[in-house]
A and B are shown apart, each in its own frame.
Chain A
Amino acid sequence: MRLNNIHLTLMLASALFITACSTPQKPAEDEPSTAATETEVSVDDQSATTTGIGSGESGSSDLEGGQSSEEVTNIPRVVYFEYDSSNLNQEVQLIIAAHALVLSQNQDWNIVLEGHADERGTREYNLALSQERAQAVADLMQVYSIGLDRIQLVSYGEEEPAVLESNEEAWAKNRRVEILY
């Protein structure tokens, strides 16, 4: 991708996702408990590495770029894939660009990319497929100058489905990469 294209994509991404948060979407700001605890990121207390935004630690850090965790959470955290594919469609590319923009303004944030597959086919092939999906997201982030040293890839294969059902709709939701920082 050429540089001016990258710039354009980043502008578009920021217009789509980041400015959207100037109008607060959560009406329940008088309930103090929700902001700190509500998160889509499941933090396994036995795992050493995964921490989600809004899990407390990063929620307290107001960073130089003026980003707050709430702004960041307006960008979709999960991107989806076609069956047996690690191709990034246009919408997914924009989402990743938006994340890249935030990450470029918050240089001390590290990223975990969790790759997943739907249940069809063999577990080992799905493990490899989920790795390819996470790698594809990492590769695009690298195009936006997010260093690979900031990115950790995790491959779950079909082991951690988002939806525990066996139908087209569930499979579509399970073919995903979760972007965690």
Chain B
Amino acid sequence: MAKYTWQKHIGHGLAWWLMIVLSIFRLESAGAQGVTIEVTGGAYSGIPISVVPFSINGLPDPNLQPADIIESNLRASGRFDVIPEEQHLSRPDALNEVNFRDWRLIKSEVLVIGNIVNLGNDRYEVRFRLLDVFSETQLVGKKFVVPTNNMRQAAHQISDAIYEQMIGRPGDFDKAIAFVNVRSTEEGKTYRLQIADSDGWNPKTILESPYAILSPSWSPDASRIAYVSLEDNKTRIFIQNVWTGERTAVNEFEGLNTAPSWSPDGRKLALTLSRDGNPEIYVYDIATKLAKRITRHTAIDTEATWSPDGDTLIFTSGRAGRPHIYSVPAHGGQPTRLTRDGSYNAGPTFSLDGQHIAMITNQGNGYKIGLYSVGDGSGTVTELSTAGEEEFVRFSPSGDMLVFATTVGNQSRLSTISVNGQVQRFLKYEDGAYREPTWSPISFNQ
């Protein structure tokens, strides 16, 4: 038997994040390893917004300034044009201090102000207001009481509140990203399945193993993650509860057992099995442990993921000689080829509105993120330009961002890019190589 160490996350209905953050949080300095933003696109568009630094006497750590976290988040979404602090003409922290003319002058459409009051005993009251500069009204305002350890989380919740008010759907920031971290020493490699904040802060390890871990997939309620482990020289799929650390093996079939993808109803996994001779797509029923074969072809079929309504699977197939993206009814049927551009299209994933498919594409510029519009019969794949080579891509729940693993030089890191291609944000980096990030569909606090 292989040896495993578990980071037990016991949470009997209490706020899981709160407990974990309390027990593991370490203060870390900003800088090269922090969250960095690059504006990669040309003309920048978005809602002009100003975020005034929150006032506080005795902020315990400069990394906890909510305004910095909120600005970084809003900018990363590609939906906001954040006006730099240097251009601010005043620095109000309460409604009666706001002179709206100062903000009209710098063409800020909306304004965020806030303050933090130290209540003692490691409790802080964080207040914010989102103000409309032209109508001079408050659009939304909230108050949180948090310990130091949850200050960043409060800033993510404020980001989501602003995003939802302005864009009209829930934000992505108070959600988690699961990924694989690999560190190499002379004794060998250590693979960690980790869960972090949406900006890469506060990573927690839920599985540590000397064997490769691949393809994490969240359950729709964000309570479990399915993944592939190469332990005992086999490819096996496990389902792990992120709260308790308990895991169960998915019924093991002869040959490959890989590429799990949770169905939107939470009852099934799409997966790849080679039990009938070569890699094919199956739909596995978690309750009955039965796998139904979906594809039949002598070429490779793998990496199936679901449409948001659960009716369609999209997958990678080598049946045209090169890997391309196909769709097939989730109950089985005739596959349809979707992509025509490029020499390599693999690892497809739907946006939550079902309108777009992201994938890894090679169109002669290396492995990049490709975007495909559903219903576009031309098979066109639009490449998103970055400095790196990409490997694994998933949409954020709002559909405004993509999270992916990128290799620049010899370093593989996690990054997001806005779907308009304008803003790339590198997630916080600690050590080792980062792979296969996937955004939790919902927050842990709902």
Contacts and interface: CB of A to CB of B under 8 A. Distances in A.
B279 A132 contact: yes
Interface in B343-372: 344, 346-347, 360, 362, 367
B298 to A, nearest CB: 10
B215 A124 contact: yes
A35 B385 CA distance: 53
Interface in B205-237: 210, 212, 214-215, 228, 230, 232-235
Given A47-B232, A135-B277, A135-B278, A125 B256 contact: no
Contact of B347 (A47, A49, A120, A124): A124
Given A128-B256, A129-B300, A156-B230, A122 B235 contact: no
B3 A131 contact: no
A48 B234 CA distance: 11
Interface string B383-395: 0000000011000
Interface string A122-159: 11110111011001000000000000000001111101
Contacts of A153: 255
Contact of B274 (A46, A124, A131, A157): A131
A157 B212 CA distance: 10
A55 to B, nearest CB: 16
Interface in B242-287: 255-256, 258-259, 272, 274, 277-279
Contact of B322 (A84, A129, A157): A84
A154 B235 CA distance: 8
A132 B233 contact: no
B71 interface: no
Contacts of B214: 123-124, 127, 157, 159
Given A123-B215, A123-B435, A153-B255, A132 B316 contact: no
A50 interface: yes
B436 interface: yes
Interface residues of B, number: 40
Contact of B212 (A47, A84, A159): A159
B216 to A, nearest CB: 12
B418 interface: no
A132 B3 contact: no
A132 B435 CA distance: 24
Contact of A122 (B279, B322, B391): B391
B437 interface: no
A79 B233 CA distance: 20
Contacts of A157: 212, 214
B397 interface: no
A135 to B, nearest CB: 7
Contact of B344 (A49, A121, A124): A121
B272 A128 contact: yes
A127 B214 CA distance: 10
B402 to A, nearest CB: 15
A128 B235 CA distance: 11
B323 interface: yes
A11 to B, nearest CB: 30
Contact of B2 (A46, A129, A131): A46
A125 B323 CA distance: 9
B230 A128 contact: no
Given A46-B3, A154-B234, A125 B347 contact: yes
B181 interface: no
Interface in A91-131: 120-125, 127-129, 131
Contact of A132 (B300, B344, B367): B300
Contacts of B302: 124-125, 127-128
A131 B318 contact: no
Nearest to A115: B256
A155 B436 contact: no
Given A124-B272, A125-B302, A132 B278 contact: yes
Contacts of B93: none
B431 to A, nearest CB: 18
A45 to B, nearest CB: 11
Contacts of A166: 410
Contacts of A84: 318, 322-323, 344
B212 A121 contact: no
Contact of B360 (A44, A47, A48, A121): A121
A154 B233 contact: yes
B160 interface: no
A122 B230 CA distance: 16
Interface of A: 44, 46-50, 84, 120-125, 127-129, 131-132, 135, 153-157, 159, 166
Given A128-B279, A132-B278, 7 more contacts: A48-B232, A84-B318, A121-B360, A122-B392, A127-B228, A155-B235, A155-B256
